[in-house]
């Protein structure tokens, strides 16, 4: 009788192993179906040490852990925190709870030192709308907008506008719409035009007392003022007037100029051509020129000459180090007052000579009359 019971038990256990198992149910709906209205299922609780090591969990049949082996980690060390983990190939994969998801409806209680949107490896982060690439945060920190291909290597921020669209527009009130700044041998803002008639940089003011384009060189603050507020390496044209500040209240130690004619007589006018072959990157004119030699003018009028630094490179975007050329330049407009005074002095001489000639002619006429 005992043998019969044992045999029946063995047969029953084999049937139970191969069949679906139900706990608190006679109609299991899966391989294992547990029903309870007041109790839960306890998953094995294990203290992991790191996500890349299976221990202390082992395969009871030896060998590697089988994918989907499920445990609840109780430790908080290295890269593992308390929560459910399952084994995947060669590491423990955490089953995230809601606290670890970045919600599309907004998030609260974030820590800027821990929480972020991005990657933890050297891969780009890309943003799509309508399943089209719109922006990319590149793995090296560069950012591109609407650029299907990678931006140029030296562009930290790159925007490619569609035909007819503005690439970048800045609006503000009582501030700066677009700000560019360079601290060492570079360019704060670069504007470039390629084909047809257009503008590299366009500035416009919509008010009568505004400024379309403003450039400032703080020459009064530095002894070595070898820069420029605005520099044009090529023809400079305008359709309006040019004004130089000449307000009396801005001046002091005002005196009438003396001996202007003697100054002008020392200036040697020349005709010449620029050496465009040797200094081709300075974009000098190839036409015949009329003017002065700055070194000669400096001997007479050092105040209207200055040593300046000119860019001397072919491509401002491709040259790693911006080549420059030190040159002596002069302000031709400051000769105008000297010329004006020289003409006044010359006119005084002419009038004096005319008066003397008139007197001599009168004396001559008197002598002729009494003969």
pTM to 2 decimal places: 0.60
Tokens describing residue 350:
């002419």
Q: Which of 289, 309, 301, 310 is nearest to 330 (CA)?
A: 301
Ordered per-residue pLDDT tens for the chain, 371 residues: 444 444 444 434 444 445 688 889 888 888 888 899 899 999 999 999 999 999 999 999 888 999 999 999 999 999 898 999 999 999 999 987 666 677 888 888 888 888 888 888 899 999 999 999 999 999 999 999 988 767 666 788 888 888 888 888 888 888 888 888 877 767 788 787 788 888 888 888 888 888 888 888 776 555 566 778 888 888 888 898 988 899 999 999 999 999 999 999 999 999 999 999 999 999 999 999 999 999 999 999 999 999 998 888 776 655 556 788 999 999 999 999 999 999 999 999 999 999 999 999 999 998 888 77
Per DSSP, what are the bridge partners of residue 70? Answer: 86
Please give the radius of gyration of the chain, using alpha carbons only, rounded to the nearest integer.
44
- Tell how far CA 204 is from the center of its chain: 22
* Pairing of β 324-330 and β 305-311: antiparallel
Task: Decide if 270 contacts 293 (C-beta within 8 A).
Answer: yes
Residue-wise DSSP of 283-321:
T---S-EEE--HHHHHHH-GGGEEEEEEE--S-TTT-SS
Q: Give the CA distances from residue 115 to residues 107, 112, 118, in Å, rounded to whole numbers and listed in that order.
A: 10, 6, 10
* CA 200 – CA 233 distance, rounded (Å): 14
Q: Quick one: DSSP state of residue 234?
A: S
Task: Give the model confidence (pLDDT) of 297-330 as tens digits.
Answer: 999 999 999 999 888 877 665 555 678 899 999 9
Contacts of 89 (CB under 8 A, 6+ apart): 67
The span from the CA of 105 to the CA of 100, in Å, is 14
pLDDT at residue 220, rounded to an integer: 52
Whether the Cβ atoms of residue 168 and residue 304 lie closer than 8 Å to each other: no
Pairing of strands 157-159, 143-145: parallel
> How far apart are the C-alpha atoms of 261 and 340, rounded to whole Å?
9
pLDDT value at residue 47: 96
Are the C-beta atoms of 257 and 343 separated by less than 8 Å? no
Alpha carbon distance 134, 252 (integer Å): 60
Q: Are 232 and 213 in contact (CB under 8 A)?
A: no
CA dihedral 91, 95, 99, 103 (to 10 degrees): 100
Rounded distance between C-alpha atoms, residue 323 and residue 172, angstroms: 36
């Amino acid at each position: 009788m005992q043998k019969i019971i044992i045999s029946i038990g063995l047969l029953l256990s084999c049937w139970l192993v191969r069949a679906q198992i139900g706990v608190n149910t006679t109609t299991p709906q899966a391989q294992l179906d547990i029903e309870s209205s007041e109790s839960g299922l306890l998953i094995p609780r294990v203290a992991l040490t790191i996500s890349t090591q299976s221990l202390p969990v082992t395969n009871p049949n030896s060998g590697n852990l089988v994918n989907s082996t499920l445990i609840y980690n109780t430790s908080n060390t290295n890269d593992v925190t308390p929560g459910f983990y399952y084994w995947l190939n060669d590491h423990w994969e955490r089953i995230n709870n809601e606290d670890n998801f970045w919600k599309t409806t907004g998030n609260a209680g974030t820590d800027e030192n821990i929480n972020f949107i991005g990657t933890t490896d050297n891969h780009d982060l890309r943003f799509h709308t309508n399943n089209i690439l719109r922006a990319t945060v590149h793995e090296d920190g560069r950012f591109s907008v609407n650029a299907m291909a990678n931006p140029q290597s030296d562009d930290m921020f790159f925007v490619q506008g569609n035909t007819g669209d503005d690439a970048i527009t800045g609006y503000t009130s009582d501030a700066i719409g677009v700000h560019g700044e360079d601290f060492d041998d570079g360019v704060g803002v670069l504007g470039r035009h390629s084909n047809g008639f257009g503008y590299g940089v366009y500035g416009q003011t919509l008010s009568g007392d505004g400024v379309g384009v403003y450039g400032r060189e703080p020459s009064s603050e530095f002894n070595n003022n070898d820069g420029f507020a605005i520099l044009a390496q090529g023809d400079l044209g305008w359709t309006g007037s040019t004004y130089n500040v000449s307000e009396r209240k801005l001046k002091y130690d005002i005196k009438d100029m003396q001996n202007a004619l003697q100054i002008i007589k020392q200036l040697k006018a020349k005709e010449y051509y620029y050496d465009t072959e040797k200094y081709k990157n300075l974009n000098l004119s190839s036409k015949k020129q009329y003017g002065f030699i700055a070194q000669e003018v400096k001997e007479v009028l050092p105040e209207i000459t200055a040593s300046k630094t000119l860019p001397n490179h072919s491509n401002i975007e491709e040259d790693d180090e911006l080549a420059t050329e030190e040159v002596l330049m002069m302000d031709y407009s400051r000769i105008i007052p000297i010329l004006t005074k020289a003409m006044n002095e010359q006119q005084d001489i002419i009038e004096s000579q005319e008066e003397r000639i008139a007197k001599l002619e009168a004396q001559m006429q008197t002598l002729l009359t009494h003969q």
